[in-house]
DNA sequence: AAATTAGGTTACGCGAC
DNA sequence: GTCGCCAAACCTAATTT
């Protein structure tokens, strides 16, 4: 294993962010994330076996260097050389009299990389995906998926006639959904240059053409994120989750926005557990209006036979 | 804070253009 | 691709309990 270096919290320990979840190591994705709120504490702790070698007699000391992981997030899968700034390959700054030469090298380096239009498009798209992801706290693993989707979309010529940004946003949206940590179209649209309508339309095409198995968004998938925002006790969250499951089984929520169901379930769970949150609180944390929360929670209470025999 | 009400907006599938 | 249409779900806002 990559030695447990640096600042990072270890897998298994409680999440420093939400205090509720546990940190889990995902070797396939090479990151440590919170299983509740999705906080990513450590990324790129890649250990790709074959590269193991000793640097014991390296003049620079035994720094644990390895080959960088292949990444869908870079247009050349992270393979390419990187030449910019005013430092050489070892990070040493370049003397001023050789700067012109360096700049020339950088110029040709760029040209060789971006010669083909598709490559350049890909690069901008992936940058866009990273930019949006940063605003939305999207785990790196999901970004990778989004990158792959975009790549596939590009290969199928789905970009023609559509903007790069719209396909990038759609890819990210799709990746979030297939990864089980959905964000709503609104949330994507907020950080995208493209409006929600457009993203939705492009998403439909992309999802269809790529043959993505798109499970409908369940209210369940919103619970952890919302609970985290409301800073709820884990048992309260669990209770809300139970309500949601019952509601889904009882088919009282079909056709309803899954967000609203999750919001209502959380609201009920809060009250029952004596951890009161106002409808306004829940509304702000979930983006569902108070009116809708009321409507949902009345339905849930009625169909699940929940009784409020006490008042806080 | 919560509930109610009224009125406007959106998403969606579908066919027609 | 856009328009028009539909109904249901949602929203905003004002008001009441």
Strand partners, A42: A32
Strand B positions with any atom < 7 Å from protein CB?
Answer: 1-6, 10-12
> Domain for residue A183, yes or no?
yes
**pLDDT score of A57:** 44
pTM of the shown model = 0.68
pLDDT at site A305 = 75
For residues A59 and A236, give the distance between their C-alpha atoms in angstroms, rounded to a whole number. Answer: 56
pLDDT of residue A20: 58
CATH number of the domain that residue A53 is part of? 2.20.25
Q: Separation of CA A127 and C1' C10 in angstroms? A: 34
What pLDDT score was predicted for residue A160? 83
Q: Which residues touch strand C (CB under 7 A)?
A: A 161, 255-257, 260, 287-289, 291-292, 295-296
Q: Note down the domain range covering A178.
A: 118-209
Long-range contacts of range A270-275, CB-CB < 8 Å, 24 or more positions apart?
A270/A230, A270/A232, A270/A236, A271/A308, A271/A312, A272/A239, A272/A306, A272/A308, A273/A233, A273/A235, A273/A236, A273/A239, A274/A312, A275/A232, A275/A233, A275/A236
Task: From the CA of A256 to the C1' of C5: give the distance in Å.
Answer: 22
Rg for chain A (alpha carbons), in Å? 24
CA–CA distances in Å: residue A200 to residues A53, A144, A281: 48, 20, 29
pLDDT digits (tens, 9 = 90+) for A72-82: 666 666 555 55
Does residue A251 share a domain with residue A197? no
Residue A24's H or E segment, with its range, is: strand A23-26
Is A89 among the domain residues? no
Measured between alpha carbons, how far is A65 from A176 in angstroms, rounded to an integer?
32
Q: What is the pLDDT of residue A149?
A: 92
pLDDT of A69 reads 52
Q: Assess whether A197 and A228 both reside in one domain.
A: no
* The token pair that represents A196 in the structure block: 């929600």
Nucleotide nearest A293, from its CA to each C1': C10
Spacing of A187 CA from C9 C1' in Å: 19
Domain check: are A182 and A253 in the same one? no
Distance A282 CA to C2 C1' (A): 38
Low-confidence ranges of chain A (pLDDT < 50): 1-8, 27-30, 43-67, 115, 309-312
Per-residue pLDDT tens for A244-291? 999 888 888 888 889 999 999 999 999 999 998 999 999 999 999 999
């Amino acid at each position: 294993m990559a030695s447990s270096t640096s600042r990072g919290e270890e897998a298994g320990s409680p999440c420093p962010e939400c205090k509720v979840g546990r940190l889990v190591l995902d070797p396939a994705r090479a990151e440590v994330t919170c299983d509740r709120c999705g906080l990513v504490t450590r990324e790129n702790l890649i250990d790709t076996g074959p590269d193991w070698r000793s640097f014991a007699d390296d003049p620079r000391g035994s720094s644990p260097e390895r080959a960088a992981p292949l990444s869908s997030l870079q247009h050349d899968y992270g393979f390419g050389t990187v030449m910019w700034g005013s430092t050489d390959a070892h990070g040493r700054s370049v003397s001023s009299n050789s700067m012109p030469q360096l700049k020339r090298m950088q110029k040709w380096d760029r040209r060789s990389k971006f010669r083909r239009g598709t490559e350049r498009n890909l690069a901008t798209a992936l940058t866009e995906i990273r930019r949006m992801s940063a605003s939305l706290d999207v785990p790196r693993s999901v970004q990778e998926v989004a990158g792959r989707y975009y790549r596939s979309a590009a290969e199928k010529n789905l970009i023609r006639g559509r903007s790069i940004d719209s396909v990038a946003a759609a890819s990210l949206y799709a990746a979030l959904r297939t990864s089980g940590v959905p964000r709503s179209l609104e949330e994507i649209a907020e950080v995208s240059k493209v409006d929600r309508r457009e993203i939705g339309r492009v998403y439909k095409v992309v999802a269809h053409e790529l043959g993505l198995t798109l499970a409908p968004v369940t209210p369940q998938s919103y619970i952890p994120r919302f609970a985290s925002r409301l800073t709820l006790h884990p048992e309260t969250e669990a209770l809300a989750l139970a309500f949601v499951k019952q509601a889904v089984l009882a088919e009282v929520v079909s056709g309803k926005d899954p967000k609203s169901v999750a919001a209502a379930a959380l609201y009920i769970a809060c009250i029952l557990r004596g951890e009161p949150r106002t409808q306004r609180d829940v509304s702000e944390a979930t983006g569902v209006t108070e009116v809708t929360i009321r409507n949902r929670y009345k339905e849930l209470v009625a169909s699940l036979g929940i009784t409020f025999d006490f008042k806080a």
